């Protein structure tokens, strides 16, 4: 069963023709952020995540795709470095799948936290499981509220750690919480820009 509705795409590598292609494309962009840092790389990952949301992908469906690829032992080629012809292939690790899908889930939940549906979804299937939604909705909502109501682009990490404590009884390291916050704010900037570009 296809987890994402396929549609005609003019993307250079037909990223959006199957849930497998979408999963690979997202994973390559995720790895790019990890290897080369955020900024534009993070925006590319978020844009790919927003597209996956729009075409009806689910966090569970994409996790299954990446897990199947990992278990088959297929190596994923890194995104090309412009101008360079070196390509690095490597196997997918289980923890990479978990973290990539968590990032994606946070993007999906952030979209759900926007006041009006900023991204139209082609599927009525919920994008994330109830467990993930319950775990992360408050976190994303606190940030979305700060973004829309107070025009903020940053929150104290302590505030978000308290939110995590309230929901799951433990909080992540400050640096991890800060990177998750950056992911939410960057997603909001992509799907619902509030300020004119300088």
pLDDT digits (tens, 9 = 90+) for 62-81: 999 999 998 988 888 776 55
Q: Is residue 31 part of a domain?
A: yes
Separation between Cα atoms, residue 178 and residue 113, nearest integer Å: 19
Residues whose CB is less than 8 angstroms from the CB of residue 81 and which lie 6 or more positions away in sequence, other chains included: none
Query: Residue 113 domain-assigned?
Result: yes
Which residue is associated with the tokens 């289980």? 94
Tell whether 122 is covered by a domain. yes
Question: Per the domain annotation, does 197 fall within a domain?
Answer: no
Tokens 């840092």 -> residue: 37
**Domain presence at residue 6:** no
Give yes or no for a contact between 53 and 119, defined as CB atoms under 8 angstroms apart. yes
Q: How many domains does the chain have?
A: 1
Is residue 52 situated within a structural domain? yes
Express each pLDDT in 176-197 by its tens digit: 999 999 999 999 999 998 765 5
Nearest to 108 by CA among 191, 176, 50: 50
Within a domain: 147: yes
Separation between Cα atoms, residue 145 and residue 142, nearest integer Å: 5
Classify residue 198: in a domain, yes or no: no
* Residues pairing with 76 in the sheet: 90
Tokens for 181? 């916050």
Q: Which residues pair with 75 in a beta bridge?
A: 91
pLDDT tens for the 198 residues of the chain, in order: 334 443 333 344 444 468 889 999 999 999 999 988 878 999 999 999 999 999 999 999 999 999 999 898 888 877 655 555 555 677 888 899 999 999 999 999 999 999 877 788 999 999 999 999 999 999 999 999 999 998 888 899 999 999 999 999 999 999 999 999 999 999 999 999 876 555
Which domain does 45 fall in, by range? 19-191
Q: Which of 62, 58, 81, 80 is nearest to 70 (CA)?
A: 62
Contacts of 119 (CB under 8 A, 6+ apart): 50, 53, 54, 111, 191
Q: Transcribe 124-170 into DSSP letters.
A: -S-SS-HHHHHHHHHHHHHHHHHHHHH--S---HHHHHHHHHHHHS-
């Amino acid at each position: 069963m296809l987890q994402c509705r396929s549609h005609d795409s003019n993307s250079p590598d037909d990223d959006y023709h199957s849930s497998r292609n979408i999963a690979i494309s997202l994973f390559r962009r995720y790895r790019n952020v990890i290897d080369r840092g955020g900024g534009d790389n993070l925006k590319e990952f978020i844009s790919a995540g927003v597209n996956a949301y729009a075409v009806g992908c689910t966090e569970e469906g994409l996790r299954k795709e990446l897990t199947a690829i990992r278990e088959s032992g297929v190596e994923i080629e890194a995104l090309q470095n412009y101008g360079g012809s070196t390509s690095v292939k490597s196997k997918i690790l289980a923890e990479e799948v978990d973290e990539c899908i968590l990032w994606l889930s946070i993007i999906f939940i952030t979209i759900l936290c926007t006041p009006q549906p900023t991204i139209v979804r082609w599927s009525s299937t919920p994008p994330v499981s109830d467990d993930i939604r319950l775990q992360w909705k408050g976190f994303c909502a606190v940030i979305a509220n700060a973004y829309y109501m107070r025009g903020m682009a940053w929150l104290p990490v302590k505030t978000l750690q308290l939110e995590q404590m309230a929901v799951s009884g433990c909080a992540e390291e400050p640096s991890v919480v800060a990177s998750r916050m950056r992911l939410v704010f960057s997603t909001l900037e992509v799907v619902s820009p509030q300020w004119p570009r300088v």
